[in-house]
Amino acid sequence: MRAIVQKVTKASVSVDGRITGSIGKGMCVLLGISRTDTEKEIQWMVNKLVKLRIFDHPETGKPWDADLLQCNYGILVVSQFTLQCVLKGNKPDFHGAMKSEESEKLYNQFVVALREIVPNSDTLVQEGEFGAFMQVHIQNDGPVTIPIDSPESLSQQKVKPTKPSKQEKKKIDKTDQGKKDKEEKEVEKATEGMEQL
């Protein structure tokens, strides 16, 4: 699961000219659900978002010292499967994104989990419209933009060792054979020298 978090002074989402969600100060979260995500990633991400200290403390004014709950700010969630994109050359590939029907279930669970934690959630937790073509208006404050990947998503991104191509393998084999021949010649020379002694 991947989230792009933006600290905002205001943000809103509209579909066909109709506003589906809007907030004042707070954070806008673009959420991309991968095909390997489960409820475990939902809870991890929700907890991370509400505890993310990107705001000035409401009492001391100290920057980077308060989270969403301490400031009583809003959060706008927008589903965005393109966050699971992998480029193949110049073409985006979205096979890493969860299929729409399954993804919508997890997305709805994500919003429900947020509403259970955030006070006054009817007002402070807003969202876009899953699967719709949306216009997202974000007034970034700072700017502050933070990407967050769940631990499971990070483990999926580990690069697997690639096998050498046939041409590369031939070069390796040729190099190894050259080293082996050289070593054998050195052994033969050393043996001959010992015999002469």
List, run by run, the mean pLDDT of 10-residue segments along the chain (197 residues).
Answer: 98 97 98 95 96 97 97 97 94 94 96 96 96 97 97 61 60 63 63 53
* One-letter-per-residue 3-state SS of 117-175: HCCCHHHHEEECCCCCCCEEEEEEEEEEEEEEECHHHHHHCCCCCCCCCHHHHHHHHHH
Number of Cβ atoms within 10 Å of the Cβ of 60: 9
Task: Measure CA 69 to chain center.
Answer: 23
Chain position carrying tokens 């991968």: 34
Residue 93, both tokens = 């590939």
Residue 180: predicted pLDDT: 65
Residue 185: predicted pLDDT: 67
What is the sign of the dihedral through the CA atoms of 164, 169, 172 and 176?
A: positive
* CA dist., res. 28 & res. 110, Å (int): 14
Question: Minimal CA–CA distance to 24: which of 113, 147, 100, 137?
Answer: 137
* CA dist., res. 187 & res. 170, Å (int): 26
Give yes or no for a contact between 55 and 72, defined as CB atoms under 8 angstroms apart. Answer: no
Residue 163: predicted pLDDT: 58
Residue 152: predicted pLDDT: 73
* CA dist., res. 56 & res. 23, Å (int): 18
Using a 10 angstrom Cβ sphere, with 0-12 exposed, 13-18 middle and 19 or more buried, the burial of residue 130 is: middle
3-state secondary structure of 102: helix
| Reported pTM | 0.76
Residue 159: predicted pLDDT: 45
